[in-house]
């Protein structure tokens, strides 16, 4: 029983789907965000740094060059199949011609078998879904939607700039075109209780999604959240509490959902708090130990709540 798969890992899912190990090429598409340029807000979410979620992406060169450069690195020797992953900011926030040009610029190598696009729920339209659908004949396509929490009050606190109802609309549109949906849930947001987290899990279970990313809330330099930390209005969660919350999410989420990650990776040179976030092995090993010791597995309480 020690080797039982306690939850559905992305790596295994991709290996089963493509027959071998499949890795991501993280791409900076040169996008911005409607929560930064003034359309719906400025400054972005309170936890978001100047570079968005892809702080580790150092390149600012053309998309095709980013892909070419990746294939020159040692990482490209670790697999034969790859995913073009548009990560930074809102990767559907442009006109259709621009979007197609950017996506096409990444899909320049026969070893690329999938296209993954991270975006906001309020930046998903029918035309964008049609464009993404046009790639599915050749590529596996998924869209990542940042939900973080179903609590719209918390959404206002973190300056999310959209409501949970927007998430429902976006998922419905993507479902209509049979495009897989991966959503993000964050643990440890300001003022959030365990009950808020439980409500978010219940909310996610009401939707037809295929993947989930679980993130800890971490504080990076030069963000509003750092100011809140410094003035005492935000206190980071402990590793123990985070592991408790992740185990709750896993045991109550649909057993059919693929778990893309169970922790968020902050750049070590930007991380302010909590310090445990920089120790990924602590998180992974701690979670595995917790799940084994309590004999927990993904979805074990899901049907009881339906």
Sequence ranges of the domains in the chain: 10-305
The candidate with the shortest Cα–Cα distance to 121, out of 148, 154, 83, 87, is: 148
Q: Answer whether residue 59 shows pLDDT above 60.
A: no
What sections of 121-188 are H helices per DSSP?
Answer: 126-133, 152-157, 164-176
Q: What is the tens place of the pLDDT at every residue in 172-208?
A: 999 999 999 999 999 999 999 999 999 999 999 999 9
- 134 versus 45: the higher-pLDDT residue is 134
Mean pLDDT, the chain, rounded, equals 92
Residue-level pLDDT at 1? 46
- 41 versus 273: the higher-pLDDT residue is 273
Residue-level pLDDT at 84? 98
The candidate with the shortest Cα–Cα distance to 262, out of 284, 245, 282, 279, is: 284
Residue-level pLDDT at 53? 46
Could you tell me the pLDDT band of residue 61, with boundaries at 50, 70 and 90?
confident
Could you tell me the pLDDT band of residue 38, with boundaries at 50, 70 and 90?
low
- Distance, in Å, from the CA atom of 69 to the CA atom of 7, rounded to the nearest integer, reads 34
* 5: CB partners within 8 A, 6+ apart: 12, 297
Tell me what percent of the residues of the chain surpass a pLDDT of 90. Answer: 81
Mean pLDDT value of segment 130-136: 98
Q: Is 3.30.1360.120 the CATH number for 10-305?
A: no
Mean pLDDT value of segment 139-150: 97
The candidate with the shortest Cα–Cα distance to 251, out of 186, 305, 192, is: 305
Work out whether the CA dihedral 251, 257, 258, 263 comes out positive or negative: negative
Mean pLDDT value of segment 157-186: 96
Q: What is the tens place of the pLDDT at every residue in 240-284?
A: 999 999 999 999 999 999 999 999 888 888 999 999 998 999 999
- Distance, in Å, from the CA atom of 213 to the CA atom of 68, rounded to the nearest integer, reads 27
Percent helix / strand / coil, the chain, rounded to 5: 40, 15, 45
Q: What is the tens place of the pLDDT at every residue in 97-113?
A: 999 999 999 999 999 99
Q: Answer whether residue 211 shows pLDDT above 80.
A: yes
Residue-level pLDDT at 24? 97
- Distance, in Å, from the CA atom of 126 to the CA atom of 124, rounded to the nearest integer, reads 7
- Distance, in Å, from the CA atom of 297 to the CA atom of 278, rounded to the nearest integer, reads 25
* 236: CB partners within 8 A, 6+ apart: 188, 217, 218, 219, 229, 273, 274
Question: What are the phi and psi torsion angles at 134 (to 5°)?
Answer: -65, -20
């Amino acid at each position: 029983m020690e080797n039982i798969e306690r939850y559905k890992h992305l790596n295994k899912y991709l290996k089963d789907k493509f027959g071998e190990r499949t890795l991501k090429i993280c791409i900076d598409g040169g996008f911005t965000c409607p929560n930064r340029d003034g359309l719906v807000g400025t400054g972005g979410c309170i936890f978001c740094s100047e570079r968005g979620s892809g702080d580790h992406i150092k390149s600012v060169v053309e998309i095709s060059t980013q892909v070419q450069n990746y294939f020159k690195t040692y990482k490209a020797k670790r697999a034969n199949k790859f995913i073009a992953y548009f990560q930074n900011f809102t990767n559907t926030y442009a006109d259709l011609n621009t979007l197609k040009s950017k996506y096409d610029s990444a899909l320049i190598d026969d070893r690329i078998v999938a296209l993954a696009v991270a975006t906001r729920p309020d930046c998903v339209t029918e035309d964008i879904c049609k464009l993404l659908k046009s790639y599915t004949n050749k590529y596996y396509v998924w869209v990542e939607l940042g939900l973080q929490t179903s609590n719209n009050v918390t959404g206002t606190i973190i300056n999310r700039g959209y409501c949970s109802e927007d998430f429902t609309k976006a998922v419905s549109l993507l479902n209509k075109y049979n495009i897989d949906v991966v959503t993000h849930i964050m643990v440890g947001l300001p003022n959030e209780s365990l009950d808020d987290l439980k409500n978010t899990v219940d909310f996610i279970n009401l939707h037809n999604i295929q993947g989930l990313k679980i993130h800890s809330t971490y504080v990076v330099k030069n963000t509003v959240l750092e100011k809140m930390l410094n003035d005492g209005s935000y206190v980071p969660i402990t590793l123990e509490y985070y592991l408790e919350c992740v185990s709750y999410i896993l045991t109550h989420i649909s057993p059919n959902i693929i778990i893309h990650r169970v922790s968020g990776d902050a750049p070590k040179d930007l991380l302010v708090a909590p310090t445990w976030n920089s120790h990924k092995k602590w998180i992974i090993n701690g979670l595995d130990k917790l799940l084994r010791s309590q004999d927990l597995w993904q979805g074990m309480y899901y049907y009881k709540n339906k």
